[in-house]
């Protein structure tokens, strides 16, 4: 299997409150299910999700760092969870 080229762009749903905070730079971390291979240096396109539908609003963020269960400082995370440090 060949590795996917980096950096990658990952598209994720984001509820309205968290979306607004990230967009304004007031929420520099995202706690997420670790179901994608998100790495530092990748981009995350957050798509605002309200009442079961996308609003059309998006914000592109840059992933500064990741912390996963099992990583140093990740001992408080449940298995299958991760934290991404993001910069809008």
Higher-confidence residue of 65 and 4: namely 65
DSSP secondary structure string, 11-50? EEEEEHHHHHHHHTT---EEEEES-S---TT-EEEEEEEE
Query: Is the predicted pLDDT of residue 2 greater than 70, yes or no?
Result: no
* pLDDT at residue 6 greater than cutoff 90: no
Look-up of token digits 């995350």: 44
- The answer to whether 43 and 64 have CB atoms below 8 angstroms apart is no
Give 19-70 pLDDT, tens digit per residue: 999 999 999 999 999 999 999 999 999 999 999 999 999 999 999 999 999 9
The pTM is what? 0.88
Give the per-residue pLDDT at 5.
83
C-alpha 27/C-alpha 42 separation (Å) is 18
């Amino acid at each position: 299997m060949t590795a996917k080229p980096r950096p990658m762009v990952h598209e994720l749903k984001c509820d309205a409150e968290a979306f607004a905070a990230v967009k304004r730079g007031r929420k520099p971390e995202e706690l997420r299910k670790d179901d994608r291979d998100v790495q530092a240096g990748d981009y995350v396109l957050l798509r605002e999700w309200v009442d079961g539908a996308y609003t059309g609003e998006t914000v592109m963020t840059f992933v500064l760092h990741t912390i996963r269960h099992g990583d140093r400082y990740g001992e408080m995370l449940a298995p299958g969870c991760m934290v991404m440090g993001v910069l809008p």
